Structure 1
């Protein structure tokens, strides 16, 4: 039986029930796993149309056969899908990209437990809290713990037998009051374990209970006139209160809640979880999902919520999300807050995920310098709705003073960076007087006529320095005369001669730009560069013209001699002040006599 016919029969046999479907390739490998409220309806949708996204069409082309599992509820389908994806890691599923190991806090399973930061999870009965994607958060928690409680930091095997045998001696930590010396039996197991229990509560975000207990004990000691002991508790109490001020970001009514932030780009989705207990953040973590088939954000977020809650062992009954999702798990309240403390928590989660995305982009730019350029060019493409990425951008500008020495310049940017070897300057030949439109027409015509003749690759975008008039002039040459299809944009400046707007389309429309955007900075730099280059060429031309006109009056010397003099002395003024010997050494006795006598004839008479 042929593949298409077999697949048709398999799809026809699917039930109208919730479940999970698996697509296999010809090697019997799972290439995609999906969930469905209605298996038959969902799977049929893959085969009865041409899809908008090419990746989906590629997936369908590679499906050799399929299998399915019927479940009772949508929630069961969601959990089964998540487990199958993690187990088989299918090629076309959005995959968790988590190659970075984040630290956790470990409380060891020992008679006298240690508390420390680790990236290695060892299943030996120890307790792990985390992971924490913020090093600052985990370090702050450990700092407050070691300030409050003199927990040992050594790795000695402190068993009851070893301590009684006197195998250990107290170290420096004991003498600076950072440890109570359990290694010599100076601290009981009960007292130490009580400290560890309070440490556990702090890590879990329950600092309020410890604070109340310390305050009560402090008051009782003061009432018994035990002021020295009360003072020690007071110091602990103040540290706890200080920690609470730093960690509490919401009213303590908000407890046992998970807030999720979401952001995405073309290839990845980023999801952040902030876990809150009694108004305090106790954990924060961010993951990245690599998109495979242009999955929608709702499905990715649901998958990530399952992943993160399992990873952080969360049993919160409330989740806060930035947009509506179909989350079928029972006894879980989904909240999209519009105001209040929960809104603040959502904003905090969104802030974290955006920062994660920004940091990742910066890291990629360091590893691949072209990454930032491509990102900006994609923004240009999106803003102007271009068919392809504008890898080569050319910009034009004219320069003249009252029509004299009229010139124009063309600068070329490749991958958003100046390509100076491709810059060109033009003397205006066919235009009399200050006519910018006619000058632009001449230059653009000359530029692209030559490129067509020589078979040089044409630019992906042309930018004119000016408004709608300049754009129309360029369009007439490019489209009407040369029959080229090159997008044309215009950059206009404000009264302060600063880039103010981007124009595109015919008739031209203003494209919104923010002055702090990288796109705006790129366009402004292109405009500034072409203006600088045109003015520089114009100044050089005027300067040479002025110099040449004076030397032209010297009868008896040619162009080569003039060039030698200018190249050596740099200006006519220096030629005038040069003595005869200097001139003779450069251009010989005969020509030196002509030049020297010309500039010094008044002095000799």
Structure 2
């Protein structure tokens, strides 16, 4: 396999896989060197901006021309992405990032000592007495945190010289961002309490801080100090709003976090490296699986054994699954490292959050792998063989029906092509005029509306039409296509297995019932298409139900606009009274004619 080149990098295909989520991206060169590390609140929007061809900055354009791959790591918040970006730049010393300074020049938050400690921005030597929190990756991150602290706890941030010479409170006191200890507007004990809250917040002890504030609020309320209780209540709300658990930095020691995701005979292993509590980045691997089917535990054990053959083994390894022969694996790693090694697959606290993050990124990488062109082509080949087709499908459509006891029935149409889902051609059909709960009639109406347009225009026909259902649904689809004189479309029903177990799913092709092996790539492709149709249908159904519940029954009555509806509700005091009113009573309302009153009456009382 030839080495990747900038010319071979398909940016359009790659951008289709990037999610609208916060995270970090690494631009890679042909020799797998990290050229640039960046963070983004929205990865898709940010990374897309590099490949639009309108970059003004010559330095960035020079870098983009060398890019052969882009690796992304999804985080839960932009703050986590910011910290991870800093760690990765420091690790890789990337050419196109701003050169990193020595740790001594990183910014910190400093809380001084004394009667009324000051909370401030600090850069430089940390020899002064007091507490330092950081380092932060940028001055902007420090200032943002200081702004939050002002709103939350109102500890002073002014210079000592300014503080000593005040004779009256400054503007910060007026806008409720300081308690004005300079003019004794707050007692020493109360100010010390606010500083302690600030320290807890900066230490990431948000839960303990919230519990303390709740206790203080209840105490003030019991003592009938309701204004102070209200202040504590507001603080609790703000702390919960702005506090973020430190997923990336925090904790002690060296840890590797390894997460496995498995689907369609493809395994993805994500390894996240944490050193001294800092996430130094992650990387995903796609180990080649043997022909025999293996459980996650066996795949994970084999991977770990080979991964640490030439790597330093950390004191703690966190896993997403229990590995096969865990005790033996631990003993082997301890023997190689010549010290005690801990392997945990059900961690708590920070460990659980790290594992969750690794699982999320492993799943994303696996999904990208599965919808990649090579993977789709292999599964298309498998589908052709499994269904005994004399062609390789280039367009497949799947239909599903969703309703709640016949209410708000919606049919979905999803389309898959040679490169995976074609979301621009997804459609939903609102089903009306059928007996509630009649899935056959619903499917017939959806297919009639979809394929009825084929004769009117040059609409595309699918090679395969998948139906979420069994023999009855397949027969309904055959009837619709025959009535429209449409031929050349293979119809396949997908029936859920007993107990909704995916490995027991069966296919209905004409009058034949086909069972594919649980590990079949063709079956996994069909299930992916079926599950996407189901997701799309149930999303539309929920939206329709929600709209129906937030829409007044009075809406849609011809001639009854917003003003008349408002007048009706005002005169009758609510919808219930309107539903019980006679035509004569309705017609007494200003602006409601007898004819319109009849329409309103029929809406609630008609057959």
TM-score (norm 1): 0.30
TM-score (norm 2): 0.30
Based on CA coordinates, which of the two structures has the bigger radius of gyration? 1
